[in-house]
Amino acid sequence: MKNSYKGFYSPTENELQDAWKSENTIFIFDTNVLLNIYSYKEQTRTDFLLSLETLNEKIWIPFHVGLEYQRRRLDIVSREKSIFRSVFNKLEELNKFKENLNEIEERFPELVKHGDTLCSELKLAVNKYKEIVEKIDKNQPCVRSHDTIREKLNELFNNKVGTEPEQTDIIEIEKEGEIRYTDKIPPGFKDANKGDEFFYYGHVKYKNKYGDLIIWKKILEYVKENNDINNVIFITDDIKSDWWFSIDSGGKKTIGPNALLINEIKEIENINLFHMYTTSDFLSEANKYYKELKISNSSIEETKDSGRKDHINLGHSSLSNMLKVLQSRENSYLDEIERMNKLAANLKEIERMNKLAANLKEIERM
């Protein structure tokens, strides 16, 4: 029965082990996997790039993956830098906390000593973390600086990039995409809402919504032309259902690649195995099959969030936690100030009422 329904069967542990060690296996990487490198801390970057280096001649990317990476790289770098600027601004706001205490301390001088102690502790904590942020920020590429990440990827994928397509080729894929998307045939139909957005490169016009399909069709084309390839492992952090088969069983559980993708690629005679990993699972498996890598658990854990669309990882979760704590403390201090202000206002009102009562008594005597 397995031969009749190949799309519904995942490879066994032994089959995967053989595939990882086989010279007839190709590891193909999606654009998002390469772009996510910029949001990882230094250790995670090192572990990921070392895993690619270990696989050496068994890695490859379609031309469209490289093109999307080059087009979007600076946007990602700029976004990461803007996050650091936002963090610095938040830290500066916390350093100005003393200004918020001035009004209440003028009314209640006995608070000055406590306020000074509080602000001193806060300033020490903020400055300590500011040093950490500055150190991490220096290791982040900026839009005008030399990009060591791209340099390393250039080296790793030298002569391991698919050929640039002709316009006629892209038009043919996009025409097929219209039918596939209507019939919800993966991959890419989840991007149909991108409409008619497009870009040009090398006199070729590309419609954005067909990016995933172009990548997929070029994978099929490549492995068909290279009949010595028997196993294909695709690494992507795109978690949409037009790539993956998932079910809701006490929470969302990802079973494996979409069955239609497995069927389609296994129609190619030389392909015995097709499997997909997220970056996190890829690192975990690489660590298992190549013991010399010694990938840290923190690297595997950090990459688990890569599939989220809103994923922004500064590579320093302790900083994020610190900001939450300090902001929480600031809020509690401000709440206390507000309470004291209300108390002061109430005291003034009581004082005013007492004066009014005294005036009334004076009038009665007259």
Q: Which residues, other chains included, contact 272 with Cβ-Cβ below 8 Å and sequence gap of 6+? A: 230, 231, 266
C-alpha to C-alpha distance for 194 and 210, rounded to whole angstroms: 9
Give the domain range for residue 197. 24-62+162-315
SS3 content of the chain, % helix, strand, coil (to 5): 65, 10, 25
State both tokens at 278: 């997220």
- Residue 273 resides in a domain: yes
Separation between Cα atoms, residue 271 and residue 195, nearest integer Å? 34
Instruction: Name the band, by pLDDT with cuts 50, 70 and 90, for residue 251.
Output: confident
Q: Is position 241 within any domain? A: yes
Task: Output the pTM of the full model.
Answer: 0.75
For residue 199, being part of any structural domain is answered with yes
Reading the block at residue 18, the tokens are 């053989």
Question: Please, how many CA atoms are within 13 Å of residue 37, restricted to the half-sphere of its CB?
Answer: 27
How many Cβ atoms from other residues are within 10 Å of residue 135's Cβ? 10
Residue 362 lies in a domain: no
Is there a domain that residue 116 lies in? no
Number of domains in the chain: 1
Q: Is residue 104 part of a domain?
A: no
Residue 157 structure tokens: 């994928």
The Cα–Cα gap between 80 and 37 comes to 11
Residue 10 within any structural domain of the chain: no
Q: Who wins on pLDDT, 111 or 143?
A: 111
Q: What is the pLDDT of residues 296-320, one digit of tens each?
A: 999 999 999 765 543 444 444 444 5
With contact defined as beta carbons under 8 Å apart, do 58 and 289 qualify? no
> What was the pLDDT predicted at 183?
97
Our CA angle for 33, 171, 231, nearest 5°, is 40
**pLDDT confidence of residue 219:** 99
Mean pLDDT of 43-69: 97
pLDDT band at 85 (very low <50, low <70, confident <90, very high): confident
Predicted pLDDT at 4: 87
For residue 206, report the phi and psi dihedrals to the nearest 5 degrees.
-120, 130
Residue 191 covered by a domain: yes
pLDDT at 315: 40
Q: How is residue 210 written in tokens? A: 């067909």
What is the distance between the alpha carbons of residues 212 and 217, in angstroms, rounded to a whole number? 9
* 294 pLDDT more than 60: yes
Cα separation values, 131 from 38, 138, 288, Å: 21, 11, 36
Residues 272-298 have a mean pLDDT of 96
